[in-house]
Amino acid sequence: MQTPNAAAKRARIAVIGTGGTFAMHGRHRFDWIEYADSGVIHPIDDLLATLGELAPDLDLVPIPFRSLGSVSIGPADWLELSALIRRTAAADPSLTGFVVTHGTATLEETAWFLDLTLALDQPVVVTGAQRPANTDGSDASANLRAALAI
């Protein structure tokens, strides 16, 4: 049983969903290629509910942003994402970090832009997945767990 002090010291991490393979839903467990055709893109709160037992010792705060394939994310989205992170950090100083789930096609561009435009005390980790969370061999839960460990 946790003591009240232990519960009060739980890390609070904002998890921002931008879409990408992380948010996609395969039509069956071996749908590693045409999963975008299913048309199902999960918002971040649904993803955290599905993958929720990854970090029972953390307080995860879902922050919706977009649900896009990452090839559709560009400079206007980067500006808005950076502003969202700054606003969220200012509004909730109890947050100890940020994790951004992102498609892998433009993940590095988004991470680079955030690195250039954010000057926060909290870490910001951008992570992606090669396979949707509901398919065999998905790396989504392991990648999210690793991002949350930072």
Q: Is 21 a catalytic residue?
A: yes
Longest dimension (CA), the chain: 48
Instruction: State the amino acid at position 140 in one-letter form.
Output: A
What are 4's two structure tokens? 């009240």
95 Cβ contact partners less than 8 Å away, ≥ 6 residues apart: 12, 13, 14, 61, 88, 89, 122
Q: Please pick, among 21, 110, 127, 135, the residue that the annotation labels catalytic.
A: 21
125 Cβ contact partners less than 8 Å away, ≥ 6 residues apart: 97, 98, 99, 100, 147, 150
Question: Of 46, 19, 22, which is closest to residue 131 (Cα–Cα)?
Answer: 22
What are 99's two structure tokens? 């994790």
Which residues are catalytic, by number?
Answer: 21
